[in-house]
A and B are shown apart, each in its own frame.
Chain A
Amino acid sequence: MLSRNIRLLSRRYSQAVTFRTTESSPTQQNENQVGLFYTMNNDVCKQLFAHGGLPKSFMKQTKTFTETALMVRLPALDIIDCIKVTDLNKPVVRYVLYGEKGAGKSLTLAHLLHFAHEDGFLIVHIPWVSDWLRRLPRDKEMSNSQSREGFVDIPLDAAAWLLHFKMQNQVLLKTGDLKTSKEYVWSKRESTPAGAPLAELVEHGIARVKYACDVIDVLLKEIKLLSNAKKCKTFVAIDGFNSFFYPLTRLSTPTKKKVAPEEVSLTAPFMEITKNDWTNGAIVVTTDQLAVPEDRQENYLPKYLLYQKGFEHLDPFVPMEIGRYTEREFLSCASYYRDRLWLRGPPELESELKLASACNPYNFMELCAPL
């Protein structure tokens, strides 16, 4: 009887401790850590996600839990392993993350970004494409492009993105190895000479918001050239990529004409960088139902969400489904929530929540909220 009690106790104890791993570097994580949470360093988190990148509901959780903890999941590990063994002299490989709403695509992307940061990649990351094309706050600025006829600029968003880029790559930009290949003339008095560091280009875009869109165009071309020349390796991460292929955006020109995504000047450079005509990098994009309006949310598969056009643009790519929690992941998540005081009550609660949430991570989090 006593030994049985001890055994039960120890089992409970072991269940209570195995939801966390101390391995906080994604480069070192392996299959043993699947389903466990690792805590991200606050400084790294601030550097990578200060200007977006983590979903809003998750940001709320990090504040309540007083830490940023991500679960190590199999799809992320698979992609990390693939990137590690890829021959970087070959054309870039494109990975497409897809899955149901709330399955954890954005957080998997965040995990991959952390890996790329640790591994010394230059990061080109769009936190959420729909913020540019579909979100219309009152101070959204739209103007006709000066440099290219018939295009629409969103200068404030572009400048914000440049700030994000500068923040994420502050270490690499500081070293000053990355230099422009030719001279760019912005106006009569302003120009960027050939051989200037990329940081100067970025600074120019932030300071002169009017040229921010053109700076992004030039910057991405330069990054491609630099990667080809083996000066740096580049990691492109775009969340909600299918938003680029929905026929209409919610933007309008000053003459109230509806704008298609191809007519936004920011679309073209990111289309260029997601082609596989360059080497020494990796591209991870997500396709998300939430990135497009409700009339295009019937299915979560990439072919449906990307339309024919986007599918052909990305083809060939490696699809990676982000699924619901497995048994083990669910248990570990539940014990993590218990540890963080988010979930309390009798142990039968878990089985009920499991049924009610259907193991969908977001639904599980929401169902725990009022308990």
Chain B
Amino acid sequence: MNSIRYKLSGVTCSVLQAANFRPAYIQCRLYSGPTSFPDFFKNPIFRKEEQAKLIEINELSKLAISPVKPPGVSETSSVYYDPLVNKLINHVMKMGKKQLARELVEKAFENVKRIQIERYHLASSAEAKAKIILNPKDILHQAIENCRPLLQLLPIKRGGIVYQVPAPITEKRSLFLAIKWLLDATNDKERTIHFPQQFAWELLDAANNTGKVVKRKQDLHRQCEANRAYAHYRWQ
């Protein structure tokens, strides 16, 4: 199937070239993967706020003449677009079933919201009510912030022995680990409990700085602390 697609797109490209078109300008999505666009293609800027920012610093006119990649299907200028949520959906997705993944995540948000609204109505005083976070996306941000590890352990071989050496972690990897741990904790559940329900509980726990995932992070930190004697192996 893939080879057919390549052929097809090759044919279309050659036809377009014959007709004195520049194929680079065509938003051809028949290619698989990010390799379809050469390096000089700019990433699309699809948010209104960012476009406004560009206009302010007079960068837009520069961008206007350079070729730009088309944005993905989920990259919209919608009011409720959130890059972190998009990331999470991609992590939940299996076998490319994105719609299912999105439904699951949204269902989990709904559960979070219902639980929080119920708590809000049960809370007695105005201060207690003000403390409750009602927005499920805020809960997600808070949860992921609480789950992010600050250090990691790298296996480094010195004198025939592999040491677990504590090392600083990049922002990107810590985000990856936080999401991965959240999903690991969620999938470790009874068969009868559904994913959205369990995920909602995990999110609320993590946002509250308790629960399995936060414990896992703290365990890692403790291990790093215990292995601090090996830290010099990183550069020796």
Contacts and interface: CB of A to CB of B under 8 A. Distances in A.
A370 interface: yes
B117 interface: yes
B98 interface: no
Contact of B106 (A66, A344, A346, A369): A369
A190 interface: no
A307 B133 CA distance: 52
Interface stretch (B108-116, B185-193, B205-213): B108-116
B136 A370 contact: yes
Given A64-B114, A344-B135, A369 B120 contact: no
Interface in B116-145: 117-118, 120-121, 134-136
B110 A370 contact: yes
A341 interface: yes
Interface string B58-99: 000000000000000000001110000000000000000000
A11 to B, nearest CB: 22
B121 A66 contact: yes
B118 A348 contact: no
Nearest to B77: A352
A345 B80 CA distance: 9
Interface residues of A, number: 15
Contacts of B110: 369-370
Contacts of B134: 341, 344
A66 B119 CA distance: 12
A370 B135 contact: no
A3 B12 CA distance: 63
Contacts of A345: 79-80
B79 A346 contact: yes
A268 interface: no
Contact of B79 (A66, A342, A348, A369): A348
A327 to B, nearest CB: 20
Interface string A320-346: 000000000000000000001110111
Interface string B192-234: 0000000000000000000000000000000000000000000
A194 interface: no
Contacts of A9: none
Interface string B148-171: 000000000000000000000000
Contacts of A371: 80, 109, 136
Contacts of B78: 352
A304 B121 CA distance: 46
B199 to A, nearest CB: 12
A301 to B, nearest CB: 30
Given A346-B79, A349-B79, A349-B80, A64 B118 contact: yes
A370 B109 contact: yes
Nearest to B103: A370
A9 to B, nearest CB: 23
B200 to A, nearest CB: 11
Contacts of B109: 369-371
A369 B80 contact: no
Interface string A358-371: 00000000000111
A341 B114 contact: no
A64 B111 CA distance: 11
A369 to B, nearest CB: 4
Residue from A60, A346, A370 with most neighbouring chain B CB atoms (10 Å)? A370
Contacts of B105: 370
A336 to B, nearest CB: 14
Nearest to B136: A370
Residue from B79, B120, B135 with most neighbouring chain A CB atoms (10 Å)? B79
Nearest to A349: B79
A66 B120 CA distance: 11
A345 B134 CA distance: 11
A254 B235 CA distance: 79
Contacts of B117: 64, 340-342
Contacts of A342: 113, 117
A342 B110 CA distance: 10
Given A341-B134, A345-B80, A346-B79, A369 B121 contact: no
A352 B118 CA distance: 27
Contacts of A344: 134-135
A319 to B, nearest CB: 35
B120 A341 contact: yes
Contacts of B136: 370-371
A293 B110 CA distance: 28
A328 B222 CA distance: 59
Q: Which 6 A-B pairs have the closest CB atoms?
A: A370-B106, A370-B109, A369-B110, A349-B79, A348-B79, A64-B114
Given A341-B134, A345-B79, A352-B80, 19 more contacts: A60-B114, A64-B114, A64-B117, A340-B117, A341-B117, A341-B120, A342-B113, A342-B117, A344-B135, A346-B79, A348-B79, A349-B79, A352-B79, A369-B106, A369-B109, A369-B113, A370-B109, A370-B110, A371-B109
Interface of A: 60, 64, 66, 340-342, 344-346, 348-349, 352, 369-371
8 contacts: A60-B114, A341-B117, A349-B79, A369-B109, A370-B107, A370-B136, A371-B80, A371-B136
